[in-house]
Amino acid sequence: MKMNAGKYPEFPRIVPCDAEDELLNTRYAKRREMQEIIPNLFLGPYAVAKKNQLEHLQRTGITHIVCVRSPAEAKIVKPNFPEQMQYFVVEISDKNSQNIIQYFPQVKRFIDGCLQSSGKVLVHGMVGFSRSAALVIAYLMETYQLSYTDSLRYVSERRPCCWPNIGFQHQLEEYEYIITARRQVSDLRKETLFGGQTMVGSKRKFEEVT
């Protein structure tokens, strides 16, 4: 189904993933799987990137992986297929105080490089709820000029258990202002350079890929 930026179907209220077990067992039955958020961009848990998952990843067509882990998780969460996949490792803990905004531009460049080369990318953390979800939300915000709220809604519709911690939520809200300010400066420069003529933007429209 095609989606227009800023125009989304209604879906149940988003709740944190530490909700009662009964809700987790019904609504989040696929939380141990990866979901395709937009064509060729997947979000999921480390369970889908373990050593016994190579065949499944290759069958899906995954060529790039963003591996999100804390330093304490490094012995468990690993780039298991460095010869078959291209990796970008983000070392950050799932804590409110952690600075995740610094990684948004780096992850965007990695994902863009993958998609522009006709690859498929998986973004995963330990469980695929908070850190990795925040990175995917930020990617959609900047790539398709979506608001934080719209990007969160869209990602949550595809993977209902995603729920960035409160610190990451605040940084995503801050990032929306950064993106907006950057776009305004860019538009002003275009008006100055091209005498106010309308320029065709290079950014892809959200509805073109959904």
What six digits make up the tokens of 170?
A: 């605040």
Q: pLDDT digits over 109-134, tens only?
A: 999 999 999 999 999 999 999 999 99
Q: Averaging pLDDT over each range in 17-21, 163-167, 195-199, which range is the top one? A: 163-167
The DSSP element (H or E) to which 188 belongs, if any, is helix 166-193
Half-sphere exposure of 3 (CA within 13 A, CB side): 21
Residue 3 contacts residue 206 (beta carbons within 8 Å): yes
Mean pLDDT of 71-82: 96
Half-sphere exposure of 161 (CA within 13 A, CB side): 25
The DSSP element (H or E) to which 166 belongs, if any, is helix 166-193
Q: pLDDT digits over 17-67, tens only?
A: 444 444 444 455 688 899 999 999 999 999 999 999 999 999 999 999 999
| Predicted local confidence at residue 189, as pLDDT | 72
- Top pLDDT among 5 and 58 is at 58
Q: What are phi and psi of 147, to 5 degrees?
A: -75, 165
Residue labelled with tokens 């993933």: 17
